[in-house]
Amino acid sequence: MTKKKAGSKPIKKLDAYIEGAGIVEQRNITDTLEENYMPYAMSVIVSRALPEIDGFKPSHRKLLYTMYTMGLLRGGDDEGRTKSANIVGQTMKLNPHGDQAIYATMVRLARGNGALLHPYIDSKGNFGKAYSRDMSCAASRYTEAKLDPICAELFGEIDKDTVDFVPNYDNTLTEPVLFPVRFPSVLVNNNIGIAVSMASNICSFNLREVCETTIAMMKDPEHDVSATLQGPDFPGGGFIVADEEELQKIYKTGRGSVTVRGKYTFDKESRCIEVTEIPPTTTVEAIIDKVLELVKLGKITEISDIRDETDLSGLKLTFDLKKGKDPDEFMRKLFRLTPLQDVFSCNFNVLIAGNPRVMGVYEILNEWIAFRTDCVKRMIFFELGKKREKLHLLQGLAKILLDIDKAIRIIRETDEEAEVVPNLMIGFGIDEIQADYVAEIKLRHINREYILKRTEEINSLKADIADMEETLESPRKIKKIIIEQLEEIADKYGQPRRTLFAQAFDDDDDEEEQIPDYTVNCFLTAEGYFKRITSQSLRMSGEQKLKEGDEMIFERELTGKTDLLFFTDKYQVYKTSVNDFADTKASLMGDYIPAKLEMDAGEKIVKMIPTEDYSGHIILFFRNGKCAKVPLASFETKTRRRKLANAYNDGSELVAMFELPEDTEFILQSAAGKVLIFNSALVLPKAARDTQGVQVMRLTKTELQSVRIYEEGLIDDADKYRSKTVPSAGLMAKIGIDQLKF
């Protein structure tokens, strides 16, 4: 609510309805977050992003249930489909979101997209491809769809009170809270969701293996899951790099990672490598982009061409291999350097009774068994009620059999229609429900033959009812029903594994061995141009070519494996390696670092620090007189991150930065002309990269102007400027600032 402008007349009509209009109220931000943001966060977690034990998110459930109510589960292979636009429009009655969001959900569930191991939607038309970034789906008015036959296992019992129904968003329809799925679909199809402060990433497993594992666990709760569940089975195939320990971690905790590798074949005649299967976490375009980048950097020289030959028959990525190159060695290089081998991170976060829980395969299957047991019990109880009702009606009809003529006479002699049922109740000693059933029998059915046929069902109904009552009281019989259904589903829909297993490469250090590691001369200019020149080339070259007004600020011999840390004025550090640069000549400008490392607009390099093993420290001096000593190891990362934010403290302007292999003396001078010499050993290192450091020069109404490493003879009477403790104010120098030649 904003304040009213000064001098404006109050709007009495609004003030009458809006209490406190025009008043600005100060509130604690935590109260605002709790009242406004927390309900949104909980809604995303519970009602949008995370799947439930039936394996579906609300958006999936609303779409599939709408298609079921539209009758799209019927029809043969080539019939029964309708335009996707019709389905999207009908789904909006349950899902209060835009048509594009609904259609995007539909596309991912479709067979044509290939994102699921067992698609729920039988599609016709262009639904895009999960393995392609650029192959987008056609508009919903052009595509057609119906439910896939496997959906019969989702909806077969939905009309038998197996699950609860709730009103839709405008209270005009009802929809199921869950699907009474007959198999653990939560593990059969992969599911990804990002909520607030949490996420879910469930990989897919082979349907037959999941069913067999569930059956084994129902028979033996101590069953070893890994004996029947080999590992994830991805829709795009590929190979899983075998890691039994990591699989056990996923089975027990629901967290872990699976390394997936693409599948390829080599044609000796054409010398072409054809990749036909890729990891589920990448796309064909991402692989091509990475390969092209490596070709430009000179890291891949084994191929003469790369082509995307994907067509209607499926994915195909072709590499033309140069003569004399080993295809297996080249592919191992691609696996190492590109997304052709990638990691699928598992996070089995599932909603159980409205609460998010990260569970392993063991726990998920136990929860599904409990859920399915409840569904079966509710189904049996529903059918039991129907049979009891039918038995009750037939028992009334049996009494009519004793004297049909009497029933006809009672109906004929009754003057008022409303008295027919009461008179039948009195005449035969039956209740109102039975009497109403008898009264509604057609005249043509009031014969002994019809009544005898109907009443013959009484004994079979009694037997069925007794059997159902016994089943409800017997957990063993309930398990038997679930097991029989799982066996039937495994036989009907089971298919061979698409993702097979491969062994990890033995030579983990192979990459390091293949990196050239000869000594080169490295140069960096003030404008940000970097050159890598071999000693032989440097001896043969003339002067260094520089941009007008530019100057050389770094010159040193380094090895190819040396990492380079580029610190910038935006408090960031960009990491690369000497081997990321090609050899050049002194007569060339070199690589422009801001462009090569994709720095932010206007970002400038303030220091480049080379390191091979991240030993030693860096020392930073700030305008406010503080100094920070940070171990280089703080900038080392396990992953190949190119950019680190918060590389150093932004509380005060950086004056100078130095490599510090070992402690040494520095000379500082303030803008007021005071000088201080101190040893860096007086400053203790801090592991945090963005530490603000400690005060080394005490400043009053001035600032630190310049710093350099102290060299003997730089200033007369140096001892009197030395300080054994920090902070220190320093002393006024007898000579001017310019004469110190900082």
- Single pTM value for the model: 0.69
Q: Domain limits at 452?
A: 367-493
CA distance 685 to 617: 8
Q: Can you tell me the mean pLDDT for 362-369?
A: 96
Give the Å distances, CA to CA, from 137 to 86, 108, 112, 134, 526.
Answer: 17, 10, 10, 9, 49
pLDDT in tens, 259-303: 999 999 999 889 999 999 999 999 999 999 999 998 888 889 899
- Asked whether residue 224 is domain-assigned, the answer is no
Domain end: 163, 181, 199, which one? Answer: 181
pLDDT tens readout for residues 176-222: 999 999 999 999 999 998 888 889 999 999 999 999 999 999 999 99
Selection from 184, 198, 234 nearest residue 349 by Cα: 198
Same domain flag for 120 and 63 = yes
What local confidence, expressed as pLDDT, does residue 582 receive? 84
Q: pLDDT tens-digit profile of 40-90?
A: 888 888 888 899 999 999 999 999 999 999 999 986 666 789 999 999 999
What CATH number is associated with residue 308?
3.30.1360.40
| Residues 9-20, mean pLDDT to the nearest whole number | 52
Is 565 inside a domain boundary?
A: yes
> Does 362 fall in a domain?
no
pLDDT of residue 27: 80
Q: Answer yes or no: do 116 and 174 share one domain.
A: yes
pLDDT of residue 740: 55
pLDDT at 492: 95
Residues 622 and 728 placed together within one structural domain of the fold: yes
Is 235 within a domain? no
What's the mean pLDDT in 222-233? 94
Collect all residues with Cβ–Cβ distance below 8 Å to 440 and sequence separation of at least 6. Answer: none
Q: Residue 630: what pLDDT? A: 93
In this predicted structure, what is the pLDDT of residue 280?
94
Select from 300, 299, 337, 339 the least CA-distant residue to 320. 300
- The 10 Å CB-count burial string (b at 16+, else e) for 89-107 is ebbebbbeeeeeebbebbb
The domain total for the chain is: 6
Return the CATH number at 649: 2.120.10.90
Express each pLDDT in 605-640 by its tens digit.
999 999 988 989 999 999 999 999 999 988 887 666
Q: By C-alpha distance, which of 645, 623, 632 is closest to 696?
A: 623
Same domain, 163 and 62: yes
Strands of 105-244 (E only): list them.
121-124, 144-147, 165-167, 174-176, 191-194, 199-202, 239-241
Helix, strand, coil percentages, rounded to 5, for the chain: 35, 20, 40
Within 8 A by CB and 6+ apart from 497, the residues are: 206, 209, 230, 233
Percent of the chain with pLDDT over 70: 93
| Catalytic residue status for 264 | no
Tokens found for residue 651: 């509380």
The one catalytic residue among 37, 40, 142, 169: 142
The confidence score (pLDDT) of residue 237 equals 94
- pLDDT (mean) for 103-127: 95
* Residue of 99, 104, 114, 285 whose CA lies nearest to 190: 114
Burial of 509 (0-12, 13-18, 19+ CB in 10 A): exposed
Q: Furthest-apart CA pair in the chain: how many Å?
A: 137
Task: Assess whether the previous peptide bond of 119 is cis (omega < 30° from 0).
Answer: no
Do 456 and 548 fall into the same domain?
A: no
pLDDT of residue 1: 40
Give the pairing of strands 144-147 and 165-167.
unpaired
The tokens describing 153, both together, are 């296992």
pLDDT the model gives residue 739: 52
Give a yes or no: residue 204 inside a domain: no
Domain contains 256: no
How does pLDDT run across 404-458, given as a tens digit for each residue? 888 888 988 888 888 999 999 998 999 999 999 888 888 787 777 887 888 888 9
Closest CA to 230 of 254, 252, 216, 248: 248
Q: For residue 433, what are the CA distances in angstroms to 59, 120, 465?
A: 42, 43, 20
Whether 734 is covered by a domain: the verdict is yes
DSSP 205: B
- Of the CA atoms within 13 Å of residue 160, those in its CB half-sphere come to 20
Q: Which two tokens stand for residue 571?
A: 């408090």
Q: What is the pLDDT of residues 507-529, one digit of tens each?
A: 544 444 455 667 889 999 999 99
Domain match, 584 and 622 both = no
Shared domain for 426 and 326, answered yes or no, is no
Neighbouring CB atoms inside 10 A of 307's CB total: 13
Q: Is residue 190 part of a domain?
A: no
Of the pLDDT bands very low, low, confident and very high (cuts 50, 70, 90), residue 22 is: low
Lowest mean pLDDT among 228-242, 331-345, 631-645, 685-699: 631-645
Under the banding of pLDDT at 50, 70 and 90, the label for residue 7 is very low
The pLDDT of residue 239 is 95
- Interatomic CA distance for residues 415 and 363, integer angstroms: 68
Residue 704 and residue 599 share a domain = no
pLDDT grade for 24, boundaries at 50, 70 and 90: confident
